[in-house]
Every structure is written in structure tokens, then in C-alpha cells.
Structure 1
Amino acid sequence: MMNTSPDLTTLQALLPAVDTRQIQDFLDRMDPDYFSQFPLETVSSHLGLANTLSLKHPCALQILPDKHKARFQLTLAAYDYFGEFATICGLLSAYGLDIREAYIFTYLDETPPPSSQPRSLKVIKWSARRKSFHSGSSRKKVVDVFYVQVLPGYTFSTEEQQTFSEELLAMIRLLEGHQTQEVRQMVNRKLVEALGKRKTPLANVVHPVEIQFNNTLSPRDTVMDIGGTDSPAFLYAFANALTMRGLYLSKATIEVDGTRVRNRFYVRGRQNQKIVTAEEQQELTIAATFIKEFTLYLTWAPDPSKALAHFDQFLDQLLDTHPTKKQFTWLNKKTSLAQLAQLFGTSDFLWEDFLRRQHSNLLPIMEDFHKHTGPPSKAKLSKTLRKRLGKTKRPEARKSILNEFKDEELFRIDMDHILNSTPLPKFSSSLTVLAEVILDQALIEAQTVVNQSGTPPKTKKGQPLPLAICGLGKLGGQELGYASDIEVVFIYDVPSKTTPKNLPNIGEYYERLIQEFLHWIEAKQEGIFQIDTRLRPHGEKGLLANSLEEIQRYYAEDGSAAPFERQAWIKLRHVAGNAALGRKVEAHRDVFVYSSVSWPLDTALHLRHRQIRELVPPGAIHVKYSPGGLIDIEYTAQYLQLMYGHTELTLRTTHTLDALQALQKSQHLSSQDEQFLKDDYVFMRRVIDGLRIVRGNAKDLVLPESNSEDMIYLARRLGYITEVWKEGARTFEEDLKERMTRAHQIFTKLFSTKTSNPTSSP
């Protein structure tokens, strides 16, 4: 080993083809400890690799077999990029290469470190991370030397070495383009897929990590000595944790002795400062330790990068509030980290709408979640809400309580569905019960507010006129899912003996009441508990509330309702408000929907063909509107209900699965077709939920491109968990195509004789 850097003349003789200025730059700027680590011949080799760097080829890799069996020496010369060390560590782990020893060296900065007080790590973390670390006449370079061992079950053949080199070069090029997040996503995907193949048993608690800080060993950097039990991808997980916390690593030595890891990292913040204060050091220790451990549980996450990014933000918020010992104990459990990986890696919407905003409530909600064996009844849920509202007087405060309760219950239901794979009927039922409770309470609150400023219309006996809320669509069918909107109509009744004298300004009153009602229920994102009143008489041009008499006149044989409105009313069901009036409306539903008047099937089929032409993007698969999509299954049931429900009372149901079963019993569907349609209906609803939950948008129903990362993550959300993730995505795509083709064939078989069918199978 050398104690000082070699002289220029010696290296010139060894490297006659290398420009003298490049050699001198390497000698002047490389960390002095580098020359103590490597002999002259090795330095010459490294310098030769570094000389090949260019913007098109920002890294050069040399792979040599080591003297030990199944071991290799990998030498990387590259330009210096933020997150580069974590990237190569992750890629090595993804290839089943266990790092046993490593030496990381970087060009020194030409400018001295600032002497001012260091900035907070959080400020550092969110500062501009994408600036390249270079100065002077030439860019900063790194030399990394890794000694790796091939893990059992893996190989590192010549072909695999070539693929490794190509993938590393592609990632370094992305770092050159400041695409750090994209690189982290790629590495996480490959690594988690590899960890899944290993099936390594995980401990029940977090692996302890010992970290010591020293600010005297280096004039520029904080030295972190890290020790702990060797675990899968330990080095990547920890290096990535430092990167995510905004720390720059300039030098490192890594040694693994048996099952123990000993690392020394030289780090500083993005503003070139050391990590000095005890608070900053403690925060970094906690965050890095948990991020490192959380990485091992990413195999539970449908989208690992999404899970890791959300967990990082979760830690930020947790550390901001000075977490309790109880919270740390909870985070130290294997089950907690696994469940967080599932939740954080499933949905941007859940994170933004609840987890990020109410992270402090996560622990009590999850603890309460594990205490319950099933969803609460409607009566119990109503009682809990009334107790929460208590004696609060101010309307704005009561509105806030109502919506907080709604959001918390939505999260509980969503969490149960994600973590326990709740069957669709149970999931839909829980959402429907919650919707009915919220609608009922919001109506009570709205009536209280409006009645304080005026006298409500009353009967001769002084009783308020009854008002009912009826649900349509998924709410009426008790089939709510992720991002289902809440379709409703408002109906009041005027008893026949009541004269106009008792009803001053009745229309104005109900307009004010429903406007107030709509103000009480907040939809934070389009489709999430969003109240939809467009299916009322005359649509958006009509009044918000209608009398029962007006409803009976509009929805009648000689009324103004269009054929599609007759079909939509199959789903009508009383959900809130006056129950007796609700039963009257349901009775009229049966009279209107299941009338003996023939229903124009040709018109309905023409509308279905227009949906395919106008609502399905060219070349895409829309899981609702494409041929064989959810609409084909729902319309199959509804068309047959309209055709035969006049004489067959058993067909009069608002629920799709119940309707399919009734149609089979009445021999309008074969047993095979009924089973196919029921299975395909549940499957398509799961696909729609899987698409919507990512962003919480009801319109996210176009399938991702085949073989894309989004398709892979969708397949994983739907339970297609395979060792090779692309195989799971391919299986899902094949299943989906088979089911859509089958559903469309049944639809066509039943109705094609009535009109021409220009559609084609997916």
C-alpha cells in the first residue's frame, strides 16, 4: 500500500495514451486516502477507466473474478451523481450479489466547507437535490471498488455481467439527466422482485443498528460508523435511506464479517455542511434505521417506490411531532411495517386524502382496526356518529365532525379491503351503510340550519312534510366501490288534504334545504363520496327536489322520462329520510320500470354502441365501456329485467348479482352464463377498484399499456403476485381479455337479433 499519491512522471509512463492534464487532475483532486488504499498498478488501472468517461458514457465498469469461489471484484469509475452509490448497491443486490467489502472514493471539492451554522436536515432534504456535485475545470469523479459474492440460487455469467453493465449505464445516464426518482423506482422494482424470489424469512422486530457520529476525523464530512446484523440488501437500504434524507456520501469503507456489518460513511448535507447537533443526529439515526428496515418489507407493496416515498414522508411528519415510545414500539413490529408497506404502496389517494393529513391518527385507527372482527351495523354506526357530534352547537363545527367521521370510516373500510382482501359484497355493503348514515345525518343537520331561518312547510296538523332521499346507481344497488359517487334524488310529499295556504314558497324552501344539504358533505377528490343529483327529473335543468306527485307524473307511461331513465330507475332504492315516503317511491318505481309498455331495446343498443365509439380512446381498453367491460354485464341483467320484469316479480331487484341469479332461476340465463357473468362482474369490479384507488378518481378506468410498469403494479394490487412480476402482469392481461371476450359474447348472443352489432371483442 502507498502512503502518498504517486508522482505524475510515474503515471505518465504507465499511461502514455492519457492526457497529462487528466492525470494531474486525478492526482490533485482524488481523496488522499484513496492512494493509501490502492497500489500503483491499481491506481493506473482506475485512472485508465476514468479517462474513458464522457457525457455519452458517464461510467465505466470492470468486472473481474476474485480469487475466492463465486466472488467478483467490480470497479466503477464514473462522474459523481447524487444517489449514485445507493443505485449501484441496489443493482448489485438485485442480481444476487452480496457486498462483502467495498471502498468508495470521490474527488474533493475545490471550495472549503462553510463555517456557518449548519442548516436543519429537513431544509437540506427538501432543497434542490438535483444539482450536480462538480466544480473547477473538470467534473468530479468517483472510483468505487466492490468485492461481492454470488448468493445461493444466483449466477453471474458473462451474459448476466453484460446485462448488469448495460442496466447500470442506463441508470447513470438517468442520474445525469437529474432523474433520481425514476432511478430509485427502477432499482426498487428490481430489488424487491429479487427479494421476493429469495423468500428470506424476516425477523419479528426491526434489526438493531448502531450508529456513531464523529465530526473530528474529517475537516469536511461527518463520519458515521454503522454496525449491525447483516440482512438482505443492508447496504443499499441504508445508503438509499441516507439519500432520501438528502445526505451526500463522499467516501465509504464497507466490511462484512460473518453476519456483522461494519460500515464507515463520510457524509454531509446538500449545502456542504456537517451533521452537528444531537437532535439532527438522532433524527437521522431514527429515520435511516426505519427506512433501511422498511425496505425489507417492500415485497408486501404493490408499488415499492410509492410505498418507500410515502413512508419517508410519514417519518418526516412523525419526527416533527416528537413520537412517543408507544409509537416507536408499534413501528418496531414486523406486522406494522408489512401493513404500512401494503397501505403506502397501494394508493396515492389514501396517502394524500388521509394518511398524510391525519398521520397522528394512524396508530389508534390501526389498533382499533385489529380489535374489530367485522364492520359495525348501521344502528351502531349512527349511534357512534351522534355521540361524536355530542352537544356541539356551531354548524361549522358539526360539519367538520361529520366529515372527519366519514373520512375515518372510509379509511377503515379501505384499509380492511386492502389488508384483509375483503370480498366485494362485504366491501360494498360497508360503504353503502356508511353512505346511508352520512346522508341521514346530513339531512338532519341541513333541516336544523334551514328551519332556524324560517318556518318549514307543514300539513294541516302541523307536521313537517316528509322528505325522502333515494339512491340510484351503485348506491341504489348497494354496490359502492372505490371512488363511487353518491347518486341521489330528493322527493317530498304533499298530503292530498293539505291546501296551498299551508305551503308558502314550498319550492323555494326545498331548494334552500337541498342546497344546504349538499354543503354538508365534502368530497375532497372527484368521485370520493361526491353527491351526484343529475338523475333527477329534467336532469341538471330540473329542481333539486320534487314532490311525489311530480315524480309520478314525470316517470310515467305518458311522462317525459327517456328510455335510459327507465333503465336507471331499476337501481332506485330508499336510503335516507322518511321511510314511509321512501316505500311509496319504491312502489312507483316498480309501476314505472316494470310497466307492460314495451321497452325500446334497439334504442338502448344504439346507445351502447355510441358509448363504445365515443367513450373508449382509440387503441385502449376501457374496463367499463369497452366491449365486454362492466357495462356489458350490468346491461345484460338490466335489459332482461326490463324485458321480463313485468310478469316475473323475482326479477325486480336493484342488485346486479341478485338479478343474475334470479334471471337464471327464471331460465332467461343458462347456469353456465350466469356463473360466468357473476364471476366476471366481481372480477371487473376488482379491476375498476384497482385502477381507481391509485388516485381516487372515478374516471381512471383505462387500462395501462401492456407490459408497462403501471400494468405490473395493477396486477400486483389485484393479487397477481409472482416471482417474475411481468409474468403476473401477463397472466392478468390474459385473464382480463378472456373474461371481456366471454362477457361480450354472451351480451351479443342475447341481444344481437334485435339490431346490428358493429362492436368487436377486445
Structure 2
Amino acid sequence: MAAESSHNVKLLDRFDALLKQVASPRDVALRWQPVSSGCWQLAVSTTDKDGLLTVLAGLLTAHGVDISAGDLLTLPAEPGSRQRKILDLFQVVLEESEAQHTMQCFDEDFRSCNEQLAEGGIEAVRDLIIERTALRFAARPAAQEQLLPVEIVIDNESSETDTILQITSQDTPGFLFAFANALSLLTINIEQATVRTEEGMVQDVFVIRDLRGRKITDRDKLRELRFACALIKQFAYLLPHSPNPGQAIRQFRDLASRMLENPQQAADLTSIRSTGTLQVLAEVMGVSRFLWEDFLRMQHENLFPLIRDRAEIDRSFDKKELAALLQEQLAAGVELEERVQILNDFKDREMFRIDLRHITGLCGDVEFARGLSDLADVVVAAAAELCHAQIAPRFGRPQLAGQPCPWAILAAGKFGGREMGFASDLELLFVYQGAGQTSGRRTVDNSTYFEEFVRIFLKTLKVRKEGIFELDLRLRPFGSKGTLASALPALQNYYAVDGKAESFERMAMIKLRPVAGDETLCAEVLKVRDAFVYSERPFDTQNLIHLRKRMATELVDSGSVNLKYSPGALVDIEFFLQAQQIKHGAADPRLRVPNSMQALKRLQQAGLIETAQADRIRRAYRCFRRTIDALRAVRGHAKDLTLPDPDSADYRYLARRLGFADSEALSREISWSREFSQGLLSPQNL
């Protein structure tokens, strides 16, 4: 330590003139000096502030400055002053042709950030620094090789006043920024540090204290420190894998904060330090805010095995396997309330796993939609049985002519079409055979029983967030003014030729699909649907065009592009296909399918749509669906249908999530898709 102290004294003497330029927190002194070809020394002095190293290291990373060595010093406060100055020296490598421009830009940015730091603290500039740094991570190729283990030595013996932290590891660009960010979270101050990089390996030494200026001796705090060193190093290395590195950095702070609140959880987190596991973390954090928030706030204890065990993510269950797995878990529940909780935990965990498989590229768009739809089928059927079990002790079972009254649940919309994606809701239609009474001591009409059944059903499936498996019953006869469950005769009257059904319902009913209940009743409901939708009655083209114009006017914010409702958007394709199904489905029952792309395939096979046109429709449809899913994945909100500004960071990250080389490539694909789709609903095509 004596040799180190002597070295520091020499540095202070050498840079005394620089230090004297700093008198207030807003003051900054910077000096660049050439060392050798392409190598420079940067000297920085200002007053010490919380988060200062995060800002300094972040801006160096953002400007592409590679640090080969560094000495970081925090000076004692001068007599009569409470302010401490810092002297940070970095030896850096700069591109010769860009050196002067890089130095000038860095100086300007650091002076500006230091002023904001002095006035508003680290929170005033943290988002800016993260975004600037994230752009550099995003531009760097993703690491392919395995990161070598990190050696961490915590020395509390060599100094009476300080904890010495030594880190030896593979060089990781941006680590100093990520590490400083983590230490600020752990409320640890870096008093001084040396950073040395030789032949791709770094040996960093940090002299640290707690916020009260004391050595760190608390056992839990030391465990947190070791955790942060190991995990942050790996995480920074994997940030280029993340579609949105800035978001990933923010959410990693949330993870660390949450885990470190509980020492047991922090210990658990150290068991997931494999590159594969951390790559999953980086991808999830950088794609979906709502998934990550759900993971942290609601069920991280249950979901950690999914993150930790790649085999769990790799597994794919079909509908039968999901049903068997759920029934096995429900069998462990004793009380009805406990089984309802098991059902919802199963739903959330499996939904998270399916979402995770899609985010990490293990399943494509079609398999993703099918997986979510299968899960919804299984969950709806199980929820229905739990609801009957809850009502039957009070009223008995509904009867019809002395026999059990059949009931059915049918899906509509994206659920009915097996086209579910991020933040999809569940559109349902509840039907029972007809009038009668229940078999219990306290008898009620079947209509009363099934109204109560649906009310309990609505409470049984818990919604994590608006739009995610949220139940939607608006397709029922008379919409929100109608009964929650429909008797079959009432359904037949509503959808009769002279019934009260609206023209738009003719298209909506195409996607009706049985999910649970009596198969015979389901078949009868589909006969009612077919007689209504696929009748010889001419399709009302003018009504469709009028409805489409209203959507574009009433559902799209002025000046924005809504990928579902704007002119030339997803609805144009869906309406075009549905119009063709109605027009030709009476003569060809093979066209009566709820899935849009399956309908397109059958229309093509029937010679009703040319192959080249069908290929163009698939391309545009896939563009809209993938982009909408990518938007919804971030916040988990069904209404995320509006494109960000093409010049914004959100748009750049959207392009990255979708695998486009840049924003312009995404814009070209969306523009082509909109221009093509806008012509589909012309009178000559209908």
C-alpha cells in the first residue's frame, strides 16, 4: 500500500494544475495527451458525485473509446470544505482518423452530463447514459465464444480503512460502465481503482467503502458484492444479444435489486451464471417489459427453473400433454379455491414458457400461435369444470327433459382462429341447449344457472394484465345488452335470415370454433353459424367498405400508423379473406375454416386466388402480425398497434427485434405491405 500511496502522490503533483481548475460541482477539467500512435491519456477532474463513474464510463463506452488502463482516485476533502475531488486517468485507444472528433464530442457530452448530475443527481442523466451506451452495444456483433470464469478476490486484510476488490477476467467492453451501475445499486463507493488490460485479460482493482465511508465487512453485503461482480461481467458480455440493450440494462438493475432484497434469492441467482442462461435473460429483458415485470413481481420463485434450465424452455407440449399436466396438478388441490389458484398458476407459467420460447427463437410464429391457443383451450375447459363444481352444490345440475342439459363454449376472434399472439384476449361464446330447471333442492331455471356459471367463470380466470387472456364476451347475441349465456333456440332466432344479427357479425362468426362442452351441441351451433354466414344471401360489399372507412377514421389517431386499422393494414387482409370465404363458402364447405392463412391456402387450392397473389398476401399478413406482436411484446398491451416514429430509438429497437438490418429496411417492408393491402378491398376485388 505504501508504494501505491507514493504513486498517488506523484499523480497529484503531476496534475495539480488540473485539479485547481475545479472549485464547484459544475466545474470540469479535461486533458487529452498523446502517448503513442493511436493511444491517448485522458485526465478528468471534477467534484465527487453519486453516479459519476457510471456517467464517465458510460460516455466512454458510448463514444467507442476502448480503455486499456486506468487509475481512478477520490481525494480527501480540503480543510473547510465538504466537497471531494476526483482525478481519473484513462489510457485509451482511438481511431487515428476519428480521434479529434471523438475527443471533442466526449468533452462536450461529459460537461453537459456533469452539470445535470450536479443539479439533479444520477437519475437526471441515467436514462440518457443507458440509451447512449445501449446504441454502442447494439452495434457490436453478438459474442459467440464462451466467456471465461471471473476470478474475484475480496481483501479486507491489507487495509484498515478500505475493502480491496480484485477482478481477473476476460476483457469485456462496457464492463466498467455496467459495474459502476451495479455498485451504485449496492450503495457502494469506489474510492480508487486501477484498470489494466493485457492480451485480452483484465486485472481490475477497486478500493471501495460503503456510503458512510467504512470498510465493507457485513457478510450479506459481501455476498451481494461477489454476486454483482460475477453476474454483471457476464451480463455485459451478452448485451449485444439483446434486441434492446438499454431496456435490458434497466431491467437487470430491477432484477439485482429484487434479488438482493433477500439473501437466499441472491444465492439462488448465482446458480444461473451459465452463458446460455444469461443469454436468455438478456433476450427477455431486451424484448418484453411486461414479461420481465411479471417475472419479477409475481412469480420469480416459480419461474426461475425456466430461466435456469434450458431444457425446460426447449420442451414443447401438445394440447393432450398440456391437459394431462394440468389435471395432474389440479388433482393435488383439496379445496376448490386451491384448485383455482393451481389453474391460474399453471396458465401463467405455461404462458411465460411459450412466450419465452418465441422470444428466444425456439418456435416460429405459427407454432407460437398454436401453443398459446392450445393452452387457452385447456385452461378454458378446466375452468368450466371448476365453475360447475362450484355451482352444483347450490343448485344441482341443469336438466332438459329429465336429462343433463348440454352446454358448450366456443372461441372467436384470434382465439377461434388459433392465431393468438402476445397480449391476445379470449373471445368466447357460451351456449346451452334450452329451457329447463336444475336438479338440486334449490332449483333455478337453466337460464339463471348458466348466467351464474358465466359470472363465476369470469372471476375464475385471473388476468395478469389488461388484454392478456382477458375474457371478451361481446360477440354474443345483442352484444353487451344480451344475456351472458345463450340458449340454442335464441341463438337460432338471432342468426336467422330475418334475425337481428348485424352484417359485421357475418364475418366475425367465421372464426367460431368449439373449445369445451358437449360435442353434439357444438356441432348444432356450427350449423346455425353456417346457415347464417354461408347462405346464398349476397355479401354486403358496401357495408364492408363503409365499416372499413369508419375503422380507419375512428380507431386511428391522427398522423399515426395503426398496423391493424389504418388504410392498408391487417384488417384489409382479414376482411378480404373473410369476404371470399362468405362469397364462395356456400358452394365449397372446405373454405369454412376459422384460420386466415388456412383459408388463404384453401382459396388458392380452389383456384379462387392466384398463386402470386396468395404469396403477396402471406408476405403482407406476416409483416403486420409479426410487427404487431413485436410491439405488444414490449408492454404486453393489446392496444399496442401504433408504429413508433421512424426516427425514434423505439423504432430502431423494433427493427432489431424483427431481425431487420436497420430501420429503413423495416420501413420498406411495411410500406410495401400497406400499399399492397390497401387495394384488396376495392370493388373489383370483392
- After TM superposition, the score normalised by the length of structure 1 is 0.83
1:747 aligns with 2:681: yes
Partner in structure 1 of residue 17 of structure 2? 44
Match of 2:637 in 1: 697
Check if 1:736 corresponds to 2:677.
no
Q: Is the 8 A contact 1:63 1:72 kept in 2?
A: yes
Change (3 A) 1:631 1:254: same
Q: How does 1:170-181 map to 2 (within 5 A)?
A: 170-176=112-118, 178=120, 180=122
Cα distance, 1:713 vs structure 2: 1.6
What's 1:126 paired with? none
Contact 2:313 2:353 in 1 (8 A): no
1:625-671 C-alpha deviation (Å, 9 max, x unpaired):
11111111111111222233233333222111122223334444332
Check 1:561–1:199 CA distance in 2 against 1; reply closer, same or farther (3 A cut).
closer
SS of the residue aligned with 1:157? helix
Pick which of 235-244 and 190-199 moved more. Answer: 190-199
Structure 2: which amino acid aligns with 1:106?
A: T
Task: State how 1:273-672 maps to structure 2 within 5 Å.
Answer: 273-319=214-260, 320=262, 322=264, 328-329=270-271, 331-366=272-307, 370=311, 375-461=316-402, 463-494=403-434, 504-672=444-612
Q: CA deviation at 1:366?
A: 4.4
CA change 1:700–1:201 in 2 (3 A) is: closer
Q: Identify the residue that residue 74 of structure 2 maps to in structure 1.
A: 106
Post-superposition offset of 1:737? 1.7
Name the CA distance, whole Å, in 1 between partners of 2:439 and 2:13.
106
Are positions 1:59 and 2:3 aligned together? no
Q: Secondary structure at the match of 1:250?
A: strand
| Distance (Å, rounded) in 2 between the aligned partners of 1:499 and 1:164 | 79
CA contact (8 A) 1:492 1:548 kept: yes
* 2:616 aligned residue: 676
CA distance in 2, matches of 1:37, 1:750: 85
Does the 8 Å CA contact 1:707/1:730 hold for their aligned counterparts? Answer: no
SS of the residue 2:679 aligns to = helix
Superposed, which structure 2 residues align to 1:261-280 within 5 Å? Answer: 261-280=202-221
Name the SS for the 2:76 alignment partner. Answer: coil
Q: Does 1:75 align with 2:16?
A: no
Partners in 2 of 1:303 and 1:261 — Cα distance?
27
**What is the rounded CA distance, in whole Å, between the counterparts of 2:290 and 2:610 in structure 1?**
41
Asked whether the equivalents of residues 314 and 359 of structure 1 are also in contact (C-alpha less than 8 Å), the reply is no
Tell me if structure 1 keeps the 8 A contact 2:399–2:439: no
Report the aligned-residue RMSD. Answer: 3.1
Within 1, Cα distance between the matches of 2:523 and 2:501?
21
- 1:283 CA drift (Å): 1.8
Distance across 2 between alignment mates of 1:200 and 1:575: 43
Q: 1:211 aligns with which of 146, 153, 161?
A: 153
Instruction: Tell me how far 1:478 sits from its aligned partner.
Output: 0.9
Which deviates more from structure 2 when the two are superposed, residues 475-484 or residues 181-190? 181-190
User: In structure 1, what residue type is equivalent to 2:117?
Assistant: L
Partner of 1:143: 87
Per-residue CA deviation, residues 253-312 of structure 1 (Å, 9 max, x unaligned), is 333444553433333334554422133112211222211221110111112132233333
Matched residue of 2:264: which SS?
Answer: coil
- Per mean C-alpha deviation after superposition, the further-off stretch among 740-749 and 506-515 is 740-749
Distance in 1 (CA, whole Å) between partners of 2:492 and 2:91 is: 81
Give the SS at the match of 1:297.
Answer: helix
Instruction: Supply the AA of the counterpart residue of 1:64.
Output: Q
* DSSP-derived class of the 2:404 partner: coil
| Equivalent position of 1:706 in the other structure | 646
- CA deviations 1:81-119 (Å, max 9, x no partner) are 3222132223323444332332323353589xxxxxxxx
Rg (Cα) greater in structure: 1
Structure 1 gaps, min length 5: 4-30, 112-135, 723-727, 755-762
Q: What corresponds to 2:56 in structure 1?
A: 88
1: distance between equivalents of 2:176 and 2:57? 7
Q: Structure 1 258/666 Cα, relative in aligned 2: closer, same or farther at 3 Å?
A: closer
Separation of aligned partners in 1, 2:136 and 2:659: 18
Find the aligned partners of 2:590 and 2:143 in 1 and give their Cα distance.
Answer: 53
Structure 2 residue aligned with 1:15: none
Distance 1:382 1:321 in 2: 37
1:241 aligns with 2:182: yes
Structure 2 residue corresponding to 1:230, chosen from 151, 171, 177 = 171
Deviates more, 1:544-553 or 1:181-190: 181-190
**Offset at residue 556 of structure 1 (A):** 1.4
In structure 1, the residue corresponding to 2:155 is in which secondary structure?
strand
Q: Tell me which of 127, 145, 162 is aligned to 2:104.
A: 162
- Once structures 1 and 2 are overlaid, which stretch shifts more, 204-213 or 630-639? 204-213
CA distance in 1, matches of 2:256, 2:74: 30
Q: For the structure 1 residues 206 and 604, does the alpha-carbon distance in structure 2 shift closer, same or farther, using more than 3 Å as the test?
A: same
Structure 2 unmatched runs, 5+: none
SS of the residue corresponding to residue 88 of structure 2 reads strand
Q: Using the TM superposition, name which of 232-241 and 197-206 deviates more.
A: 197-206
Secondary structure, counterpart of 1:104 in structure 2: strand
Q: Which amino acid aligns with 1:739?
A: S
Is the 2:438–2:445 Cα contact (8 Å) retained in structure 1? no
- TM-score, normalized by length of structure 2? 0.91
Whole-Å separation in 1 of the counterparts to 2:355 and 2:438: 48
Q: What is the identity, as a one-letter code, of the residue corresponding to 1:737? A: S
The number of equivalent residue pairs is 682
Deviation at 1:741, TM superposition (A): 1.6
Q: How has the CA–CA distance of structure 1 residues 261 and 514 changed in structure 2, closer, same or farther, with 3 Å as cutoff?
A: same
Indicate how the Cα distance of structure 1 residues 148 and 315 shifts in structure 2: closer, same or farther if over 3 A, else same: same
CA distance in 2, matches of 1:422, 1:535: 31
CA offsets 1:107-154 (integer angstroms, 9 cap, x no match): 53589xxxxxxxxxxxxxxxxxxxxxxxx778654332211124xx78
Q: Which range is displaced more, 412-421 or 350-359?
A: 350-359
**3-state SS of 2:202 partner:** strand
Q: Which moved more, 1:177-186 or 1:267-276?
A: 177-186
Mark the CA change 1:346 to 1:33 in structure 2 (over 3 Å): closer, same or farther.
farther
Identity %, equivalent residues: 32
* Separation of aligned partners in 2, 1:384 and 1:328: 30
